[in-house]
Amino acid sequence: MSRETTLITSESLLHKAAMVLGGSLFIAIAAQISVPMYPVPMTLQTLAILLVGLSFGSRLGALTVIAYLAEGAMGLPVFANAMNGAAFFGPTAGFLVGFVGLAWVAGFAVERGLAKGILGTAIAGIVASALLYIPGIAWPMSVAQLSGIEAGWIGREFGSYYWAYFMAPFLIGDAVKAVLAALIVTGGWKVLKR
């Protein structure tokens, strides 16, 4: 991995630990910020995760998100709407777990040179965001039920329920966040190179 494509400027364990802690705090703060959007408001949580993945690389980005999830599991109110580990039993638990993959895929795209320029980085962000829907939908469709959880959002039909409530309202916001992440990251690298 090239140091010119990520913010890892030192192999020091202390430096990397500070990046993980700072990145997890950044994600936790972004998760509390809600932006009015149609048809549902969006938090800046996934934007922050994309920024971390695109800036830290695949491994350190994924580790940062794992630290963020661990903070929530320990009871800290780091998830959207100041939720904590209880969110791991709710309808969005699959998305929480999928955040690790979101950061990893974004970082992997950067490391492999697939996320170059605004367009390439935006496409990488959109692909990574689209892949987030796999664990996000798998959880309420079947995994939660297999885990012994019973709720009205479990085991419904994809087309009439999960598409309408778990995907469609968020697609535009995810695309906007991927483009914003691309603009921020590519702009940031141009400033750093100067």
Pair 45, 31: CB distance under 8 Å = yes
Q: Indicate the pLDDT class of residue 2, thresholds 50, 70 and 90.
A: very low
What pLDDT digit, counting tens, does each position of 95-135 carry?
999 999 999 999 999 999 999 899 999 999 999 999 999 99
Whether residue 82 has pLDDT greater than 80: yes
In this structure, of 11-15, 144-148, 171-175, the range with the lowest mean pLDDT score is 144-148
In this structure, of 4-18, 53-67, 167-181, the range with the lowest mean pLDDT score is 4-18
In this structure, of 8-12, 79-83, 159-163, the range with the lowest mean pLDDT score is 8-12
User: Rounded CA gap, 109 and 123, in Å?
Assistant: 10
pLDDT (mean) for 1-16: 70
User: Rounded CA gap, 38 and 52, in Å?
Assistant: 26
H/E run at residue 20: helix 13-31
User: Rounded CA gap, 170 and 149, in Å?
Assistant: 25
Structural domains of the chain, ranges and CATH numbers in brackets: 13-193 (1.10.1760.20)
* CA-based nearest residue to 172, from 132, 118, 126: 126
pLDDT (mean) for 173-178: 94
Residues 6+ apart with CB under 8 A from 121: 54, 109, 110, 115, 181, 182, 185, 186
Pair 88, 96: CB distance under 8 Å = yes
Whether residue 10 has pLDDT greater than 80: no
Mean pLDDT computed over every residue of the chain: 90
User: Rounded CA gap, 131 and 102, in Å?
Assistant: 7
Whether residue 13 has pLDDT greater than 60: yes
pLDDT (mean) for 1-8: 55
SS3 31: helix
Longest dimension (CA), the chain: 55
Whether residue 164 has pLDDT greater than 60: yes
What pLDDT digit, counting tens, does each position of 45-74 carry?
999 999 999 999 999 999 999 999 999 999
User: Rounded CA gap, 193 and 175, in Å?
Assistant: 27
SS3 33: coil
Whether residue 181 has pLDDT greater than 70: yes
User: Rounded CA gap, 173 and 179, in Å?
Assistant: 10
Whether residue 3 has pLDDT greater than 50: no
User: Rounded CA gap, 32 and 167, in Å?
Assistant: 20
End-to-end CA distance of the chain: 21
Two tokens, residue 193? 């190179």
pTM value? 0.90
